[in-house]
Structure 1
Amino acid sequence: MQHFDVLIVGAGLSGIGAAYRIQTRCPERTYAVLEARDTLGGTWDLFRYPGVRSDSDMFTLGFPFHPWKAAKAIADGPSILDYLHETASTYGIDQHIRYGERVVRASWSSADALWTVETGGTSYTCSFLYVCSGYYDYDSGHVVDFEGQDEFQGRIVHPQHWPSDLDYTGQRVVVIGSGATAVTVVPAMAGTAAHVTMLQRSPSYVASRPAHDALSDRIRAVLPENLAHRVIRGKNVALSTMVYSAFRRWPAHAAWLLNSTVAKELPESIPADPHFTPRYKPWDQRLCLVPDADLFNALRNGTASVVTDEIERFVPSGLRLRSGRVLEADLVVTATGLRMVALGNIEVTVDGRAVEPHDTFVYQGMMLSGVPNLAWCIGYTNNSWTLRSDLTSQYVCRLLNHLRATGHRICVPEVDPAEYDAPPRPVVDLSSGYIRRAAHILPRQGAQGPWRLRQNYPRDLVRLRFAPLDDGVMHFKPAH
């Protein structure tokens, strides 16, 4: 049984950032990072499909303490993975990572003020458990069991498990989906494949953006590196916050702007309606980013096309649609979405009582009601993941330092019973299919105060850095 003051679960973007904050702001605390896989990187090591990239600018998706130095603001997956390895090595975080340690169970004892954490073959104890594994299921994505799949004579691939030996040169490819993965895969495969068709049941909002940020390049050319990084980061945060707020306040105007902009990018043969006119409001689902208009370029030059229809069944030569049309295919890519999990699928008990995440409310966007000394790190849906995850890690450090300063050993948020009367809302409050499918397992957010998760970085920055920790909701206790 090995003991650490803090155990971090996951060595991806969130876990590496958490480790840096703990070792710099709580240097007297011992910590270890438990990673289920055999390497660091999380999402950026898992996904290997063609074109995988960020959909947020790297000046905000990157760490504030380790500036992004590459030229592209919208970076490809391998570049981001290299950045994460460099960060972990630069600050000695890689020396604290224990690979092949999938956490399966965590049990809290109030009498001892300790978590007992079990992996496949090792047990640990810790005073604080920090789950930084995100909310995606790394084992499998969302798979739709289409009728007739076993009759199809080609190959079917899910982007989450992209085969390293897959050669699609000269093949007819159909990509099922219209979300972020689909709009990334289609232009990346176009040109190498004979033709790529994006088959969607309903469209998503798509926005084009240059992969290089010209203004940021000019700022970096005249200012010292660290100052330039802060200025660019502030600029991008302000811009994204204003755009999101405006889109939510005036959704009809936002929809018109997005649709009219897309219409100008499309060839005459592809009308914006129905192929790029969604049925929902902007930011009811996450906006799909198209860097350097690569998707529209593929549609204009004829290497890719889009079909809006529903699948009736697979046939030996491809897919038969509700309209009766048959799409011929050698390869079908099922970009049908991801699966969500809560707390990394860890079985959690508190003093012998099983904790069902859906029965809890999320305090300050990170801790669960009635669960002591545990935080769950999740990022924004309307902005860069790291903006929120780094605020969470800084808040965890504040908690740890407060416990040490006051002599307490336990911190636990207790929910107001009135919150149970509020309409139930999952912690990730979007209408996307993968979120709706997971609503029954995700923790809930309340209607107000610290129980409501706001998608607003400036407000969170002030609250999580400066608001009193002892707010009447968070309770500090000695060991029983």
Structure 2
Amino acid sequence: MPRLPDETSFDVLIVGAGLSGIAAAYYLQRDHPQRSYAILEARDASGGTWDLFRYPGVRSDSDLYTLGYEFRPWRGERAIADAETILAYLRDTAAAHGIDRRIRLRSRVLEASWSSQQARWSVTVEHTDTGEHTTLTCSWLFCAGGYYRYDRGHTPHFQGQHRFGGTIVHPQHWPADLDHAGRRVVVIGSGATAVTLVPALADTAAHVAMVQRTPTYIVPLSSRDRLADRLRALLGDERAHALLRRRSIVRQHLFWRFCRSFPHLARRVIRRANVRMLPEGYPVDVHFNPPYDPWDQRLCVDVGGRLFRAVREGRAEVVTDRIAEFTETGVRLESGRHLQADIVVTATGLAVQAMGGMALTVDGRRVRLRDTVAYKGTMLSGVPNFAYAIGYTNASWTLRVGLVCEHWCRLLAHMDAHGYDTARPVADPTVPTRPLLDFDAGYIRRAVDQLPRQGDRAPWRTPTSYAEDVRLLRRRPVTDPHLHLGRSPAARADARDPAAEPAA
């Protein structure tokens, strides 16, 4: 990729060159082409999650009509695609719009300090290849790095782990040279990663055992969309993508609403689908009947029914038990059963890290994220000119990111039109708060005290549905009494200076 000139001052700095960062750059340069920006990416490649994860079978669990961008049609044959295909789509999108030229790789943001006097952020960036630190400045800081750590996942300590004579690997750091063919594999975990990984390993491994403490809801889903093929042939890519996207948005929301409104019926529907995919007499209620309601935690998707097929054919098994200890040759369960293993995969979850791990300071005071309240799910109370993009937990991530970017660009236009250079949400102290990510997943529970809070009413409550966000972020005015817009002392001084250039 071409290197940027050695610039240090920007209108906008975007942190993260994955799905969200590329979206933020697209909307910014579409709606505000006069604004300068750069994307800071800590890793040595763009693509975020889809470049990071390299374990066998890695794929999306959402269709690409909604996980992909509204402004760039998904042309792939499969509605649910593998990581390599998604990564190519992201990089092609960045290249098509010149966004790739604005990405600064190996640039990790360590801290950002806001000056109300100047209405600017000073951002300390570490160049990960040299260890050198650089200070950049910007008027707006947009965090597009998601909410989990890229440098490590969550791996609990297991008794006797040091005795194990085989290989232990976390999916987030899968070695390129790890050969599992003909070997016995134990996968610890039952989330989306494990559900994807187990059937991929089972294609060539001697045997794969998925060990879970608690069952997960797993829904079989086809990876092909025959309606999409027909619509593309009739209408072309652009119009077909728009229709398929709307259909997927409605279908995702209706299924989620059905599960939340009729949890017992939804449980029976999912169980019936599991029974059809498994051998007759299989103990479905032991291994596929969670003790919680559907969507209390995220449902997992088994694309093409590959996990169920591997279990049905005896190439993989699901074991519901707890690990007592590692041995020299495998793992021993609390039931007393011993699982032989050459490779143990700890698919035990993510390590949450809010706002890319950067430290924020406003006028010399350190911002404690747990003391802030999310404003419209896009900004933080008391933190000026700072926006972030976090997607849905019950639908495709990118759906919300697109709306956040649109809203942010509308706010910038409003500020330009009225001569403002500062936007600061001010929290309503009477509003009760709760966790920002109101979701009962283990990786969220472990980090709840590190994250911002949300309120119980607009604009402090973060919507959980696309339709609600469309009303809040796309249709309603960008301003309200809780968002304080103003002019910094520096801007007021410029306005009094006859030689100052007029605002854009």
Task: Tell me by how many angstroms 1:197 deviates.
Answer: 0.5
Q: Which amino acid aligns with 1:111?
A: Q
Partner amino acid, structure 2, of 1:19: A
Shift of 1:426: 1.8
Q: Which residue of 2 aligns with 1:211?
A: 223
Answer yes or no: is the 8 Å Cα contact 1:34–1:97 preserved in 2.
yes
The equivalent of 2:494 in structure 1 is none
Provide the rounded CA distance (Å) in 2 between the counterparts of 1:98 and 1:270: 52
Q: Tell me which residue corresponds to 1:114.
A: 120
For 1:199, the aligned partner's letter is: V
User: Which of these residues, 396, 400, 408, is aligned with residue 408 of structure 2?
Assistant: 396
**Aligned 8 A contact 2:216 2:288 in 1:** yes
Structure 1 residue 425 displacement after superposition: 2.3
For residue 42 of structure 2, what is the aligned residue in structure 1?
A: 36
Query: How far apart, in 2, do the equivalents of 1:289 and 1:105 lie?
Result: 38
| Aligned with 2:80 (options 62, 74, 77) | 74
- Per-residue deviation, 1:191: 2.4
Identity of counterpart residues, as a percentage? 53
Tell me the residue number matched to 1:26: 32
**What residue number does 1:255 align with?**
267
TM-score (norm 1): 0.98
Question: 2 CA distance for matches of 1:127 and 1:246?
Answer: 44
How many Å separate the matches in 2 of 1:191 and 1:5? 50
| CA–CA distance in structure 1, aligned partners of residues 254 and 184 of structure 2 | 42
Unaligned runs of 5+ in 1: none
SS in 1 for 2:205: coil
Equivalent positions of 1:348-359 (< 5 A) are: 348-359=360-371
CA contact (8 A) 1:172 1:331 kept: yes
- 2:444 is the alignment partner of 1:444: no
Q: Which residue of 2 aligns with 1:387?
A: 399
Q: Secondary structure at the match of 2:157?
A: coil
Moved more, 29-38 or 268-277: 268-277
| Offset, 1:10 | 0.4
Which digits, 9 at most, give the CA deviation of each residue in 1:154-205, with x for residues without a partner?
Answer: 1100000000010011100000001000000000000210000001000111
Q: Any idea what SS the aligned residue of 2:446 has?
A: helix
Partner of 2:140: 128
Picking from 369, 375, 382, the partner of 1:363 is: 375
- The separation in 2 between residues aligned to 1:462 and 1:200, in whole angstroms, is 40
* 2:501 alignment partner in structure 1: none
Q: Distance in 1 between matches of 2:296 and 2:393?
A: 10
Which residue does the alignment assign to 1:433? 442
Shift of 1:268: 3.0
Give the residue type in structure 1 aligned to 2:123: V
Cα distance in 2 for partners of 1:51, 1:25 equals 38
1:372 CA drift (Å): 0.4
8 Å contact from structure 1 (residues 410, 476) kept in 2: yes
Correspondence list, 1:40-51, <5 A: 40-51=46-57
Deviations 1:404-436 (A, max 9, x none): 1110110011111112xx2x4221111110000
> Aligned to 1:457, which of 463, 466, 470?
466
RMSD of aligned C-alpha atoms? 0.9
Structure 1 counterpart of 2:476: 467
Contact 1:263 1:271 in 2 (8 A): no
Matched, 1:177 2:183: no
Secondary structure of the structure 1 residue equivalent to 2:58: coil
Provide the rounded CA distance (Å) in 2 between the counterparts of 1:403 and 1:221: 44
For 1:247-277, what per-residue CA distance to the aligned partner results, in whole angstroms no more than 9, with x for missing partners?
1111111111111211221113631111000
Report the AA paired with residue 417 of structure 1: P
Deviations 1:315-339 (CA, angstroms, capped at 9, x unpaired): 1110111111101111000000001
> Secondary structure of the equivalent of 2:220?
strand
User: SS state of the match for residue 411, structure 1?
Assistant: strand
The number of residue pairs the alignment matches comes to: 477
Q: What SS class does the counterpart of residue 117 from structure 2 fall into? A: coil
- Residue 81 of structure 1 and its aligned partner are, at CA, apart by 0.6
1:144 is the counterpart of 2:150? no
Where does 1:208-247 land on structure 2 (aligned, <5 Å)? Answer: 208-247=220-259
CA contact (8 A) 1:364 1:452 kept: yes
For residues 269 and 308 of structure 1, the distance between their equivalents in structure 2, rounded to whole angstroms, comes to 17
Amino acid at match of 2:448: A
Contact 1:373 1:412 in 2 (8 A): yes
Q: Equivalent residue of 1:7, what SS?
A: strand
SS at match of 1:449: coil
How far apart, CA to CA, are the structure 2 residues paired with 1:224 and 1:215?
Answer: 13
Helix, strand or coil for the counterpart of 2:9?
strand
Shift of 1:243: 1.1
Instruction: Tell me which residue corresponds to 2:387.
Output: 375
Structure 2's unaligned 5+ residue stretches are 1-6, 127-132, 490-504
**Which segment drifts farther, 453-462 or 263-272?**
263-272
Q: Deviations over 1:414-459 (max 9, x none)?
A: 111112xx2x422111111000001010111111111111211012
Quote the residue 1:336 is aligned against.
348
Report 1:269-280 matches (<5 A). 270-280=282-292
Picking from 97, 102, 106, the partner of 1:96 is 102
Q: How far apart are the structure 1 equivalents of 2:327 and 2:296?
A: 34
Letter in 2 for 1:331: I
Runs of 4+ in 1 over 2 A off after TM superposition: none
Of residues 250-259 and 108-117 in structure 1, the stretch that sits farther from structure 2 once superposed is: 250-259
Partner of 1:187: 199
Asked if the contact 1:34–1:103 (Cα under 8 Å) also holds between the matched residues in 2, the reply is yes
User: CA offsets, 1:13-54, max 9 Å, x none?
Assistant: 000011000000111111110111111000000000000000
Q: Where does residue 264 of structure 1 map in the other structure? A: 276
Question: Greater shift after overlay, 253-262 or 372-381?
Answer: 253-262
Q: After TM superposition, give the deviation of residue 470 of structure 1 in Å.
A: 2.0
Please, which of 284, 293, 300 is the counterpart of residue 296 of structure 2? 284
- Structure 1 counterpart of 2:416, one-letter code: R
- In 2, the alpha carbon distance for the partners of 1:15 and 1:53 equals 20
